[in-house]
Chains A and B, each alone.
Chain A
Amino acid sequence: MIEKFFTPLTSLFLIAIFFLFNGLIQPRMASWRVDFSQGDQYTLSKGTKQTLGELAEPVDLTFVYSRTLGQDFPVIRAYAQRVRELLQTYENVGGRQLHLVEIDPSPFSTAEDEALAAGISALPTGSGDPIYFGLIGRNAVDDELVIPFLDPEREATLEYDLTRLIARLDNPKPATIGIITDLQNFQGTGTETDYFVLREIAASYTVEPIAPDFLTIPDNVDILLVAHAADLTNRQTYLIDQFILEKGRALILVDPASKAAAAAGGVFSTSNGLTRSDLGALGEAWGINLLTEAVADATHALPIGVEENGSVIEMGQPLFIGLPRALMSSDDLVTAPLSLTLNLGAPGALQAFPPDGVTFSTLVRTDDAPSFIDPERASVDMPPQDVLRAYEAEDGYLVIGGRLSGILPTAFADGPPLADLPDDPVEAELLDLANAELTNHLTQSVQPAEIIILADADMLDDGFYIDPRSGNPAGDNATFILNALDNLAGGDALTNLRSRSPNQRPMNRIDRMRDIAQRQFFAEQVELEDRLASAQARLEQLQANGIEQGFFSGDLEADLSPEERTELAALRQSVIETRSSLRDIERNFRRDIDGLVGSLRFINIWGGPLMLALLGFLVWFRQKRRLG
C-alpha cells in the first residue's frame, strides 16, 4: 500500500518542501545582493536608504506608464525600464512602508482618468493616443505629489527626484524661508510686484521676510536666505552666525557690484544704495573671501542692445554672463538638473581656504579667461565697448558659487558683540528684550552646516532671465535658487544625495559617425541649398516676366528673348540637378551608418545560425567519411 503511493507522495512532499522553503527564505534575503553594474546603478545612496528607513507613515507610489504605446518609442521605453527598476529597488528597501503599483492608462480607461486627475502630462503621439509617463505619490493623509513627466533628460537626478518626493510626502509641512535683503523687490512675501523668483519661492515655501533693521531672527525660520544684505550691523551678523551654527542651512548671495542697489540708490530712495555686500566676519571664520573686483567673462557674454552711430545693434556684454551647464557642477544636485544658462550680472569671485573639517566645493565658475573689472564702474551702466577696453584676461577660471559643508566655527569667538544702545528709549527697550534671548552662545555648529554661496545677487532680477515678451524664464536663475532651497530643506538625507552619471551608455560610435558625416557634407549642402535658392529666384523672375508679357497669347514664354528662353531651360535643368544632388547628400549622410547597422544586424541575426549550419555540415561530413 505504502509502495503504491510512494512516488506521488514523495513527489508532492518534495515540491511542498521546496515551495515552503522558498516562501520562508526569500523575503528574508531581499537585501542579499551584489550590484555588479558600473557605478552601482542599482544600489541606493545612503541618503535614500535613510529617508526610506525613517518613513513614519506608509507612502503609496503609482507609476503611470502607457506601456503598450511606449513600445514604439525606444528612448521612453528604455528609460521607463530604468525607472521601474529603480522603483522596485525602492520598494525592496522601503519594505512595508512603501507600496508601489504600476498602471497602464490605455485610452478611455479608468487608469487614464486617474492619471489625468492627478495631473500627469499627456504627451501627444503620432497615433493620436497620448503617452503618460509619470509618478503619483500619496501619503496616509491623502497628500498628493506628482511628477507629471519623467523626463529621460533628467536621468542623472532621478534618484534625488524620487527620494525628495517621498521625503516631502513623509513630512508635508513646507519649510520656512527667512529672507534678509536690501533688494526692494525681494523684501515682500511674493506678491505681484516682487521678483518672479520670490513668487516661485512663496509658491512652495512659507516666506518670512526679515526687515533690514532686524533685532532677532524668528524661531520658525528653517532656512536663511541672505541676498545682498550690505549694511548688516555687528549684532545682525552675530544673529546670522548663531542661526547657521544652530540650524546649519543658508543660501547666501553676495555681490561686489549690485546693479539693483546702484539703480535704487537715488536721493529719494529708502535703499541705502550700498553696492557691495560680502560675508564680512562670517567669511573670515569660514575661510571664504569675496574679492573686491567684479568679474566679466567675454566667452559667455549675454547679448544686449547697444546704440552705435544712431542705430541699435546687438553686442555681447561681458559683465552679463550666461553661464552654460558645462561650467556648473554636474555632481551637485543644485546645479546638475539645470538645462538653461545661469545669467549673472557683474558677479564677484570667491576664494576659499576653509578650516579643517569644512569643505568647499565649486558649483559655478567662469570660463578660462575672465577679467576683473572695477566694481564702481561695473555697478553702473558700463557699455560693452568700455568693458572690453578694460578687459584683462586672467589665466584660469574664477569661482562664482559653491557649497560649504561641515562643522563651522563661530565668527564671534569672544561671545556676543556689545550692541550700541540706541538713543530712542523704545528701541533700547526692544534691544534689551532681544538681548535677553541671547543666552545660549554657540561656538561651533550643532549639526553639520550646508551653506550655498553665490557671488551675485543681480541674478534674482527678472530682467536677467525672464523673456519680456513671453514672461517665461530664458535662464535657469529661479531654478537654481529653488533647487538650492529644495536641497537645503531636504534635511541631511537629501543634502547628501549626489547626482549620478546616467547609466545609459549612448552608442558613441554612431554619434561620431553622424558628426563626421555632418561636417563632411555640411559645406556642400549649404552651397547646394544656396545655388538652389538663387536658381529658383531667377526662375520665378523670368516666369513672372513671361506671365506679364505673354499672358494673352497663351504662351507664357512668348515674350522672352531667345537668350532668356535658353537661360530658363538651363535654370530648370539646374534646379532638377541640384535637387537630386541634395537628395544624394541626404542619402550619403546616412549611408555609412545604415551600412554599418545593416551588417551588424546581419551578423547578429544570421551569424549564429550560419555557424551552426557549418558545424552541422562538418559533423555530418566526418560521420559520412567514417562510415563510408
Chain B
Amino acid sequence: MSTAQDIWQSSTSSFLGFRAVYVREVQTYIRTPMAYVFLAVFLLSLGVLTWEAGGFFETNRADLAPFFVWHPWLYTVFLPALAMRLWADEQTNGTDELLLSLPVGLGGLVLGKLLAAWTITGFALILTIPMWLTVNFLGSPAAVELSWMNPGSLFKWLGANVFGGADNVAIFVTYLMSFLMAGAYLSIGLALSAIARNQVTAFIMSVFVAFILTAAGWPVVLSGVTDSFGVDAADSVARLSFLSHFEAAQRGVLEWRSVIYFTGFIGLSCMLCGLWVARLRE
C-alpha cells in the first residue's frame, strides 16, 4: 500500500488524463438538474439584487457598479453549492477509489474538476451579458435612426446603442476579475469537498470559509478591527479578503496584487485538495 506521501509525490507532477476528467465533469454538470437550479437561482438573485436592492435604474448612471457589487456575496453562497459534489459525490458513490486507480494523475484530476466547475460559472457569467447590453443601451450618447435603406446606419446604430454607452473596457476587466475570483471561490469548495464526508458538510464548510474570506473586507468588519487592533491589523485583514481584492477591479482598475492573490489562492487550494485526496488513498 502506497502512502499519502508517495501518491502526493508521484502525482502532483502528473496532469495525465486532465482532458478526460474535465469532459466527464462538465457532462455531469450538464446532465444533472442541480446545476441548472443553482445557476438559475444565482442569476435570478443577481438580477433582483441589481434592480431592486441595488436600485440600478434609480442611480441614473450607465454603469454596472450596482451589478458587480453583489458578485462576491453571491459567489459565497452559490459557488460552494456548485463545487460541493466534486469530491464528496465520489466518496458517497464510492467512485473515488476507482478514480484514483485509473491512469489519471492527481494534478489532472484536481485541475480537471476545478476547470469544469469554473467553465459552468463562466457560462453563468455569459448569461448576464444582457445586463452589459442594457447599460450600453441606456447610456447611448445619441439617438441614431436605423434605416434599412442605408446599411451604414446599422454600424452607427450599433456604435451608439451596443458599444457606445458605457465604459466597456473597464466593464470587461471587471468581468475578467470576477471570473478569476469565482475560480478562487470554487477552489475553496473543491478542496473542502475532499475532506467532507458528504455534500452537505462540504457545502456548509465551504460557505463558512468563503464567508470569512469575503466578510474580512467588509467595511463594518474592518472598522471594528481598526478600533480594536489598529490600522495595521485592519490592513492585514483586508489583504486577505476577496472583497478587498475585487474592490479596485469593480471600477476597471486591474491590480496585479489581486491577480496574484487570486491565482495564488487557487494554486494553494488545488495543492491542499491534492494533498487531502491523496490521504484518502492511504
Contacts and interface: CB of A to CB of B under 8 A. Distances in A.
A494 to B, nearest CB: 24
B158 interface: no
B71 interface: no
A32 B257 contact: yes
Contact of B253 (A26, A42, A619): A42
Contacts, number: 190
A506 B167 contact: no
Contacts of B239: 22-23, 26-27
Interface in A1-50: 3, 6-7, 10-11, 14-15, 18-19, 21-23, 25-27, 29-30, 32-38, 41-42
B178 to A, nearest CB: 14
Contacts of A615: 36
Interface in B241-282: 247-248, 251-257, 260-261, 264-265, 268, 271-272, 275-276, 278-279
B139 A509 contact: yes
A204 interface: no
Contacts of A572: none
Contacts of B256: 29, 32-34
Given A34-B253, A38-B170, A6 B62 contact: no
A616 B39 CA distance: 11
Interface string A56-98: 0000000000010000001101100100010010000000000
Given A509-B138, A616-B36, A601 B257 contact: no
B74 interface: no
Contact of B31 (A74, A601, A619): A619
B219 A505 contact: no
B204 interface: no
A7 B279 contact: yes
A32 B62 CA distance: 28
A507 B60 contact: yes
A36 B235 CA distance: 25
B143 interface: yes
B4 interface: yes
A173 interface: no
A616 B33 contact: yes
Interface residues of B, number: 75
A600 B50 CA distance: 12
A99 B62 contact: no
A523 interface: no
Given A15-B268, A37-B170, A607-B130, A507 B252 contact: no
B170 A505 contact: no
A440 interface: no
Given A507-B61, A604-B50, A606-B47, A612 B127 contact: yes
Nearest to A609: B40
A445 B172 CA distance: 48
B30 A508 contact: no
B65 A78 contact: yes
B154 interface: no
Contacts of A29: 255-257, 260
Interface stretch (B51-59, B75-83, B91-99): B51-59
A23 to B, nearest CB: 7
A544 interface: no
Nearest to A103: B223
B141 interface: yes
Contacts of B170: 36-38
Interface in A75-131: 75, 77-78, 81, 85, 88, 99, 101-102
A36 B8 CA distance: 41
**A-B residue pairs, 10 tightest by C-beta:** A605-B47, A608-B43, A29-B257, A37-B252, A609-B40, A74-B59, A74-B58, A507-B138, A608-B127, A505-B62
16 contacts: A18-B265, A26-B239, A26-B257, A29-B255, A33-B254, A36-B172, A37-B167, A37-B169, A42-B252, A77-B55, A102-B219, A508-B141, A509-B165, A510-B138, A609-B44, A612-B43
Given A507-B138, A606-B44, A608-B127, 19 more contacts: A6-B5, A7-B275, A7-B279, A10-B8, A14-B275, A18-B265, A19-B240, A36-B170, A41-B251, A505-B167, A506-B62, A507-B57, A508-B139, A604-B47, A604-B50, A604-B134, A608-B47, A608-B130, A623-B31
